């Protein structure tokens, strides 16, 4: 029976739209938790009632002279905003939106240097109100604003977005922030694109929210149609059929204007499906190479405008070569609203087809707990086996006991030796998010992908901990992991904390290393002693050499 036939036989469309948790489990305690996560199924229908609030907030801050808005968030609370900022950009006369979803001190220091405190406003975005990254960033930016404007006046520059009754609401009152915007409590973070987590940042950009929500509503209506006519069900069935054929690497090839949408899809798919030894591995592909460059574990989704001839050529070539290929065509940037909905429904249907609960993230807490233990000095971090010039090499998990390498290229030998059909290579990089640091790594992974026909991905820490990190730990044991860290070039105190931002950043990398190792994943760490972009070029060259 095909996946679409299963959805029809299981009456999946009706059960999902009626928020029936039995679609995912027979256990009563799990049903309650799932029901509490199904409030997203009619968000587009409800979104128009939130548009005036979002637009009024945007108008107020613009009238007060806002030139920049900084969103402090992680995962589902930040990635929709990132997509809107990069796909739509700022309308004339509206502020620039900066999405801060990192604890990298260099990123924060760089932004502090560019901002004018009197014309900068902040969105503190956290569903739970307890997420360590945005709360740490808030303390830093709040102190910075207080020093210039004084505490009461500075508070007018901060808006909290959170669930009703969360600790962030109490913090908002205590710190006299401007306002707390209530998000729907029955919507999980990664399914919250059309809630205030997405609408308020989009309004700050001056986006046409009515057009975006209108497109989303059309898709939401279509996703309640019978499975054979349902765009969400069709995409889910296509992914499930490909997965059943061993094509678990969902490869996203997206036109440049919409490229950031891949990061949102990556989180949604990886965190929703990567658990209990099952998982669809999302791969963001920047190369769009010839069919012979890919292995038999690939299924391709292309996304872009009808005028993108190269994208169409790529899709045609892959389909002709026998690779499953799903094409999504956009008429304009506002269609992003519809795609949020299509993918949310698709992943929800996919959870049923894979017999997993797509609304939990059981392994995410492991890395959080390990980070806290590292910060408290209660967790031993694996030690390097070799220092090669300015690079310290550590092997952990299933690679423990590997011999000390003689040079940088042979440092990757245990990774190469452990390679199995169907594996993927993930570089987990705790590095500045700039082209000078990351381009050499992207180039190397593209070369390795083609030469070894190996799925590769570059993940930025700590962002990936709230995204693909769930898949790395809870999914199938087919990942090879390189944790790449670098000596901080600067640091910042976190007011009220016993550790600095740089210490938190490093502890997050080491906490994930410890967690992956405890699960016997194949993982190595490469630590760069200096903060020099030339070092990542050397790493990239060494990786290419190792995989030849």
pLDDT tens-digit profile of 318-370? 999 999 999 999 999 999 999 999 999 999 999 999 999 999 999 988 889 99
pLDDT band at 28 (very low <50, low <70, confident <90, very high): confident
According to the model, what pLDDT value does residue 173 have?
Answer: 96
Architecture of domain 364-546: 3-Layer(aba) Sandwich (3.40)
Check residue 29 and give its pLDDT: 86
Count, in order, helices (H) and strands (E) of the chain.
22, 15
- pLDDT tens across 464-484, in order? 999 999 999 999 999 999 999
The residue-averaged pLDDT of 184-197 equals: 96
Name which of 44-58, 359-373, 447-461 the model is least confident about. 359-373
Task: Give pLDDT, residue 396.
Answer: 98
pTM of this prediction exceeds 0.75? yes
Burial 67-86 (b: 16+ CB within 10 A, else e): bbbbbbbbbbbbbbbbbbbb
The token pair that represents 458 in the structure block = 């570059």
Spans of all domains in the chain: 3-21+226-353, 43-207, 364-546
Is the preceding omega at residue 460 within 30 degrees of 0, hence cis? Answer: no
Query: Which residues, at least 6 apart from 260, have a Cβ–Cβ distance to it below 8 Å?
Result: 82, 83, 85, 86, 87
Residue range 489-510: mean pLDDT, rounded: 96
Q: What dotted CATH number matches 3-21+226-353? A: 3.40.50.10490
Q: What confidence score (pLDDT) does residue 287 get?
A: 83
Residues 6+ apart with CB under 8 A from 274: 280, 281, 468, 470, 471, 472, 473, 474, 475
Q: What mean pLDDT comes out for the span 44-73?
A: 98
Looking at residue 23, its pLDDT comes to 97
| 43-207, CATH topology level | Rossmann fold (3.40.50)
* pLDDT band, residue 170 (cuts 50/70/90): very high
Asked if 69 contacts 97 with a C-beta cutoff of 8 angstroms, the reply is yes
pLDDT of residue 488: 85
Given pLDDT bands bounded at 50, 70 and 90, which one contains residue 288?
confident
Q: HSE-up of 417 (CA within 13 Å, CB side)? A: 10
Q: Are 133 and 141 contacting, i.e. CB atoms less than 8 angstroms apart?
A: no
DSSP codes joined into one string, 443-456? HHHHHHHHHHT-EE
E strand intervals along 73-183? 96-100, 120-125, 158-162, 179-182
Task: Give CA 202 to chain center in angstroms.
Answer: 18
pLDDT at 286: 85
Average pLDDT, the chain: 96
- Bridge partners, residue 299, by sequence: 250
Identify the CA nearest to 344 among candidates 200, 238, 216: 216
Is the pLDDT assigned to residue 530 strictly greater than 90? Answer: no
* CB contact set of 289 (below 8 Å; sequence gap of 6+): 446, 449, 450
Taking the C-alpha atoms of residue 53 and residue 55, their distance in angstroms, rounded to an integer, is 6
Same CATH topology for 3-21+226-353 and 364-546?
A: yes
Structure token pair of residue 140: 């830093």
């Amino acid at each position: 029976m095909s996946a679409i036939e299963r959805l029809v036989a299981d009456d999946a469309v009706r059960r999902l739209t009626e928020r029936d948790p039995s679609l995912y489990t027979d256990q009563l305690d799990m049903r309650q938790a799932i029901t509490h996560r199904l409030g997203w199924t009619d968000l587009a229908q409800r979104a128009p009632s939130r548009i005036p609030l979002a637009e009024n907030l945007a108008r107020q801050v613009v009238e007060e002279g806002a030139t920049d808005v900084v969103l402090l968030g992680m995962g589902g609370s930040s990635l929709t905003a990132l997509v809107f900022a990069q796909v739509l950009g700022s309308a004339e006369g509206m502020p620039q939106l900066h999405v801060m979803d990192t604890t990298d001190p260099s990123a924060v220091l760089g932004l502090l240097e560019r901002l004018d405190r009197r014309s900068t406003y902040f969105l503190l975005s956290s569903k739970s109100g307890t997420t360590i990254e945005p709360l740490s960033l808030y303390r830093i930016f709040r102190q910075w604003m207080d020093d210039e404007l004084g505490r009461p006046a500075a508070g007018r520059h901060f808006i909290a977005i959170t669930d009703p009754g969360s600790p962030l609401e109490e913090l908002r009152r205590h710190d006299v922030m401007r306002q707390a915007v209530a998000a729907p409590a029955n919507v999980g973070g990664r399914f919250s694109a059309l809630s205030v987590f997405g609408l308020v940042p989009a309004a700050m950009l001056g986006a046409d929210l009515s057009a975006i929500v209108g497109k989303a509503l059309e898709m939401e209506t279509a996703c309640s149609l019978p499975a054979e006519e349902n765009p969400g069900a069709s995409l889910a069935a296509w992914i499930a059929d490909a997965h059943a054929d061993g094509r678990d690497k969902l490869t996203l090839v997206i036109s440049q204007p919409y490229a950031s949408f891949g990061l949102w899809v990556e989180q949604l798919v990886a965190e929703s499906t990567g658990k209990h030894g099952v998982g669809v591995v999302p791969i963001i592909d920047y190369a769009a190479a010839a069919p012979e460059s890919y292995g038999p574990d690939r299924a391709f989704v292309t996304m872009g405008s009808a005028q993108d001839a190269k994208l169409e050529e790529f899709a045609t070539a892959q389909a002709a070569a026998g690779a499953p290929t799903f094409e999504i065509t956009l008429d304009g940037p506002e269609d992003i609203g519809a795609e949020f909905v299509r993918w949310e429904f698709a992943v929800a249907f996919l959870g049923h087809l894979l017999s997993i609960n797509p609304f939990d993230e059981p392994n995410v807490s492991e890395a959080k707990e390990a980070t806290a233990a590292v910060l408290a000095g209660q967790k031993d971090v694996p030690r390097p086996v070799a220092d090669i010039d300015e690079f310290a090499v550590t092997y952990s998990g299933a690679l423990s006991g590997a011999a000390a390498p003689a040079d940088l290229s042979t440092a990757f030998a245990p990774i190469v030796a452990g390679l199995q059909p169907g594996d993927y290579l993930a570089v987990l990089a705790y590095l500045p998010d700039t082209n000078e640091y990351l381009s050499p790594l992207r180039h190397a992974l593209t070369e390795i992908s083609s030469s070894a026909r190996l799925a590769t991905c570059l993940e930025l820490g700590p962002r990936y901990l709230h995204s693909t990190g769930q898949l790395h730990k809870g999914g199938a044991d087919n990942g090879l992991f390189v944790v790449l860290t670098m000596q901080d070039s600067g640091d910042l105190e976190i007011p009220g904390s016993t550790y600095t931002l740089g210490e938190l950043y490093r502890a997050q990398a080491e906490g994930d290393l410890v967690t992956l190792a405890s699960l016997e994943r194949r993982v190595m760490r490469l630590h760069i002693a200096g903060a020099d972009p030339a070092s990542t070029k050397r790493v990239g060259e060494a990786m290419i050499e190792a995989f030849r």
